[in-house]
Amino acid sequence: MRIISKHTLSAILWTIVLSACDSGDIVEKQEIEVGGLTCTLTADFLNTATWPVDYPIVIAAFDEGEYPLISKGISKPALGDSITLTMAGIPEKAKEVSIALLNKSRKRITAFHTIKIDEDQRKNNFITGGHVTVDLLSYNRIQNQFFSNCTNCHGASERAAAGLFLTEGKSYNALVGVTSAKDDDYLLVNPGMAEQSYIVHVLEGKTDKVHYDHTNVSFNSESEDIALLKSWINNLK
């Protein structure tokens, strides 16, 4: 057996200690603080069959713009389930918190529910949103996700192709229960009957009475937006 001297043993122990310090095994404890506001609310979602695939639904904080300062995705809930949403770290400059639909560039398309942040909430660093109901087939969503894509021709310049205004505040009255100027056998939007609505015929190329081919304007019969439009029409009364 080899006998190690006291001096050699001492040198070995110091080498081990110094190596541990150099490798980072001995570290000073650090505490990380998370600032900002926290928001919590409970939501019931209606018409979840129209939960989007191409667009995220989020809880998000906004200032004056339409791009979120911070956002958190919401997963599709089981039918009839309430879900509790909590988001922390909301920046002090945020003006509101929304349950919102974003497009692919993360811009807010529509807000299903919005909470304005007041001074009391800022002082408490906590925003209570309560219990809310979110209808995924709200007309606001249809306007902003669907009809807003049509307004370059239908009303943005205060003129509308075929006299049909699809701008916000005008599209509903211009479509629902209104007889088509191109085919008086059909209503433009026939409540509860999407397949009997002339707007669907036009978008799916099922009529030859319009001069412009509307099947090539980023819509097709298989698209999420067309399916959303049909669901909205079928749910109208």
Who wins on pLDDT, 99 or 223?
99
135 with 235: CB under 8 angstroms? no
Average pLDDT for the chain: 86
- Tell me: the pLDDT tens digits for 84-113? 999 999 999 999 999 999 998 999 999 999
Per-residue pLDDT at 212: 80
pLDDT for the residue numbered 222: 60
pTM for the predicted model, two decimal places: 0.78
CA 224 – CA 222 distance, rounded (Å): 7
How many beta carbons lie within 10 A of that of residue 121, not counting itself? 18
pLDDT, tens only, 5-63: 545 545 544 454 444 444 444 434 433 345 699 999 999 999 999 999 889 999 999 99
